[in-house]
Structure 1
Amino acid sequence: MYKLGFIGMGNMASAIQEGFINSGYIKADEICGFDLSEIATEKAKARGVTPLSDGHEVIRNAEIIFMAVKPQVVEKVVAPLKEDLKGKALVSMVLGYDFAKYETMLDPSTRHLTFMPNTPIAVGEGMILLEDQQTLTDDEYDFIKKAFESAGSVEVLPSHLMGVGGALSGCAPAYIYMVIEALADGAVAQGLPRASAYKLASQTVLGSGKMQLASGLHPGILKDNVTSPAGSTIKGVKALEDGGLRAAFINAIEKSMGK
């Protein structure tokens, strides 16, 4: 019996598997899964995950099932598996499918939890949101929560905030990569080699985030601590304000929620 079984092993599921395996909390040979993609299946095999023939086999052979398919196909995938999922534990990361929606899709005996991860879970720096409504047993919930904590940080949110929380932590890595790229481009334009520019920008983003988390200080205070009067930083801050940086990020979160 495998501890975890994945139905769908695309990019996000792969990141979760890598995070669990790299943390040492779950071994690769304790994970099985199924994906229609041969490429995804081969990548899973390469990290030591056992590929199975279909979703039915995954459910039969795993203690906790991860639903990791695209939103547009989830109901088509779940319907033929409803009987198999009776009495089982299901954790789902399918966008838009919260506790209430799964209650209408699953047998009452199926225990379930909706979560929202982000790709940095692959390197142990994930941000994982757990919906506060769930029906896992205490042992199942404790096991899953610790698994996520082994590969990142966990936040429990009420159902009505999962959407905006997911828009922030789930979509923002793409925005931050754009920030890293843009900062590096600016430095390259001034003569810094590309590899060094990416390293400096990425480590600066990582360090700044960790400093805010460790200190608990308002980001504005940390920004002020770096900006000396008439110094180079405040001139750069003004340039960013002139470019509408804050408004752009605020609008990005709004648009990512479909508004």
Structure 2
Amino acid sequence: MAIYGFIGTGNMGSAMARAARRALSGQEILLANRTPAKAEALARELDCRVGSNADVAQEADYIFLGVKPQMMAEMLAGIAPVLAQRKSRFILVSLAAGLTMSRLQELAGGNYPVMRILPNTPAAIGAGMVFYTMGPDISDAEAHDFLDTMSGAGRFAPLPEHLIDAGSSVAGCGPAFAAMFLEALADGGVACGLSRADARTFAAQMMLGTAQLALTSNQHTGALKDAVCSPGGSTIQGVRVLEEAGFRGAVMDAVIAAWEKSADLGK
């Protein structure tokens, strides 16, 4: 029985713990958090175990490092003595942007097996986009078992380590950008007379359907846009206004800014 331990039960840690619980029993999941009450609340929800960082470091076969990059050094320094004394094999699973596998090994104080995953918040409901890169000493069997266990988080895609932060800048940061767009669409609907609740529902369902259409139709997104823009119609006028406001350029700049910040976090 492999134990999946989570150090940090914030948005990403809790999302991945929920995904793990879809495949594992509560006894196979161990949670820890700087604020114990937060881990205890999630443990009650998932009917799993709760402990300290040291408990996770001592017992878990997969040790999820779900703290912010700026807090990683302090947290790993705290569990490094426990890791150094372990006789059984374990794998460090980092959820942190910017920190390379070699840097994580340095902070943990040993040449331990490491994998990096960068999920997004929709993983909490099984609709996530999760990027991963495996260290060279992760076996094919370990990688397969891990991906099978965590498949409840959503779609997984391998990326080489030098691209994983770029992927996360699109899909990891993207939910914030998408939520801003949804909010703006709903505001526009309210300005046109819709109720707030209706406008939000209409906008969210539209985005969900459009995303599903993009994934299943294999059409270029430009073609999906063109299919809605009738000659002399209302949609093309809306597109014109977005273009005049620099919509696409602003979105591209947001992704690049997020990617550059991830690079800074690793320094």
TM-score by length of 2: 0.89
Higher deviation after alignment, 149-158 or 35-44: 35-44
Find the aligned partners of 1:6 and 1:215 in 2 and give their Cα distance. 37
C-alpha RMSD of matched pairs (Å): 1.9
The gaps in structure 1 that reach 5 residues or longer are none
Find the aligned partners of 1:77 and 1:156 in 2 and give their Cα distance. 27
Q: 1:133–1:159: 8 Å Cα contact kept in structure 2?
A: no
Kindly provide the amino acid, as one letter, of the partner of residue 236 in structure 1: G
Kindly provide the amino acid, as one letter, of the partner of residue 31 in structure 2: G
DSSP-derived class of the 1:82 partner: helix
Q: Percent identity?
A: 35
Find the aligned partners of 1:94 and 1:109 in 2 and give their Cα distance. 18
Q: What is the 5 A alignment of 1:1-259?
A: 3-21=3-21, 24-47=22-45, 48-52=47-51, 54-85=52-83, 86=86, 87-106=89-108, 110-258=112-260
Q: Which runs of 4+ in 1 moved over 6 A?
A: none
Equivalences, count: 256
CA deviation map 1:108-141 (0-9, x unaligned):
5622101111010001110101125442232221
Q: 2:114–2:134: 8 Å Cα contact kept in structure 1?
A: no
Find the aligned partners of 1:67 and 1:139 in 2 and give their Cα distance. 21
Find the aligned partners of 1:253 and 1:98 in 2 and give their Cα distance. 20
Q: Which residue of 1 aligns with 2:264?
A: none
Higher deviation after alignment, 197-206 or 98-107: 98-107
DSSP-derived class of the 1:110 partner: coil
Find the aligned partners of 1:67 and 1:153 in 2 and give their Cα distance. 20
Q: Which has the higher contact order (CA 8 A, sep 6+)?
A: 2
DSSP-derived class of the 1:84 partner: helix
Kindly provide the amino acid, as one letter, of the partner of residue 61 in structure 1: E
Change in 2 beyond 3 A, CA 1:108/1:177: same
